[in-house]
Structure 1
Amino acid sequence: MSLKIIGSGFGRTGTLSLKAALEILGFAPCYHMQEVIKRPSHIKKWQQIADNQPVPWDDIFANFEAVVDFPASIFYQELLAAYPTAKVIHSVRDPERWYDSTAETIYRAAENFPSWAAKIIPPLGNFIEMQEQIIWQRLFNGRFPDRTYAIQRFHDYTEEVKQHVPPEKLLIFQVKEGWEPLCDFLGVPVPDVPFPHVNDRENMLRDFKRLRQTFTLLPLTIAALTLILLWQRSKLSRSVRKVGQNKPTSIVISDGVRNP
């Protein structure tokens, strides 16, 4: 299996909807940041890539026909060189709305995890570090909080994609356009199902809220369970001592007969 579709668009440009659409069209499975989260070994591979260590692309994409979203979209040139027959889809949206959505969701994602969680759960810590290295430092030079800079980077990146990808291999796409331009570009018929629209900001924020609640309650839950176990252990110890104290004693007489 070889990549047929390379997504070069930023996260929060409808990439999860695009992933679902491509899989409906038969370009499945489609790689997305969600696939990274599911695979701790891939997190380490992306960390190696961020550190400029060579990682064969097939080690990541051997079982995928398409890829969209961060972190892979940042490496669209390298991927196109490795898979020269692939087509490139550059997903975009209104830059102002893109910035608001990104700032409120994926940029703040790490804030939903307390620092201790990243330390005691290595894949989580590695994932947060990988995002920081590849997205917020490599792509935005540590300046994403500067709204003007980030939006200009959004514009500039689209122009860079246009310069580096041959026009016949490139589609600039907004998911609100639906099936027609996507299917025309890929040379496939329009399916008889609605175009998927998933992962809106409200759903993501609701998921983040659940995460915060979980990690807030987790230490309390662990403490309560620890107290219960300690209490049960103390209770068992007292019971054992009580049984020992009430056990009948035996007297050994000279002829070896034990009488109570």
Structure 2
Amino acid sequence: MSLTVMSAGFGRTGTMSLKLALEQLGFGPCHHMIEVIHNGETQVPLWNAALAGKPDYAAIYDGYHSAVDWPTAAFWEETAAAYPDAKIILSTRSPESWYASISETILATVWKPETWPPQAVEWFKMVTKVLERSFGDARDKDALIKAFEAHEASVKAAFPDDRLLVHSAKDGWEPLCAHLGVTVPDGPYPRTNNRDEFFQHMKDADDM
């Protein structure tokens, strides 16, 4: 199986909703950080190797038809080059709302190593490196928003319009389905992974 769709959008830009949407449209299984949590013994070493400059994308995405969220978003250029026929999505939201969300969820856990449970330390170390790859040394609000905006600008500049869709969860099914050449399904676009759900996922990481 080979990736046919990938998102370059950072976490907390509706990536879990996009994962569910892609799977509903037939582009699953979809790789997401939750897959790394649930398959840490296999996935964490593979991503550590990628961070060390020795990626094995065939192994990372073995069994997956699409990929969203981090760690993929930190390797968007390399992944897009490895799968040149894959459609690209940039999941997005306003910079201010993104910062409000990530600062209260991901950064509130990953950037507090004293709270990491022993059984999840290797996962947290890997995620920390993934965030550093995306943000550099940015830590305060202004620097993080600047990194977010620079990332989005780079993605938009990298692909032609027929390969890239900039998509917000509020845009719903229509532009996504048009981009992927599939029929709009019945029912609402998925909306999930609020703050409470995020911390449940972190509990899953604690139980790794």
User: What is the TM-score of this pair, normalised by structure 2?
Assistant: 0.91
Tell me the residue number matched to 1:134: 130
**Residue of structure 1 aligned with 2:121, choices 125, 143, 146:** 125
* TM-superposition CA deviations, 1:120-145 (whole Å, max 9, x none): x2xx111110011111x22212323x
1:174 aligns with 2:168: yes
1:143 aligns with 2:138: yes
Q: Distance in 1 between matches of 2:175 and 2:15?
A: 16
1:186 aligns with 2:180: yes
Tell me the residue number matched to 1:43: 44
User: Which residue identity lines up with residue 74 of structure 1 in the other structure?
Assistant: A
Q: Distance in 2 between matches of 1:6 and 1:15?
A: 11
**Conserved? CA contact 2:44–2:123, under 8 Å:** yes
3-state SS of paired residue (1:168): coil
Shift of 1:33: 0.2
For the pair shown, the structure with the greater C-alpha radius of gyration is: 1
Shift of 1:159: 0.8
Question: Which of the pair has the greater relative contact order for Cα pairs under 8 Å at 6+ separation?
Answer: 2
Q: Percent identity?
A: 38
Shift of 1:76: 1.3
Which ranges of 4 or more aligned residues in structure 1 deviate by more than 3 Å?
110-115
Shift of 1:62: 1.9
* TM-superposition CA deviations, 1:88-127 (whole Å, max 9, x none): 0000001101001101101122449745x32xx2xx1111
Aligned alpha-carbon RMSD (Å): 1.9
Within 5 A, what are the aligned runs for 1:48-197?
48-52=49-53, 54-110=54-110, 111=112, 114=115, 117-118=117-118, 121=119, 124-135=120-131, 137-144=132-139, 146-197=140-191
| Structure 2 alignment gaps of length 5 or more | none
3-state SS of paired residue (1:26): coil
| Structure 1 alignment gaps of length 5 or more | 216-260
Structure 1 residues 26 and 113, CA gap change in structure 2 (3 angstroms):
farther
**Conserved? CA contact 1:7–1:68, under 8 Å:** yes
Q: Distance in 2 between matches of 1:36 and 1:68?
A: 12
Q: Distance in 1 between matches of 2:90 and 2:77?
A: 12
3-state SS of paired residue (1:189): coil
Tell me the residue number matched to 1:10: 10
3-state SS of paired residue (1:126): helix
Which is richer in helix? 1
* TM-superposition CA deviations, 1:200-224 (whole Å, max 9, x none): 124335x38x95xx99xxxxxxxxx
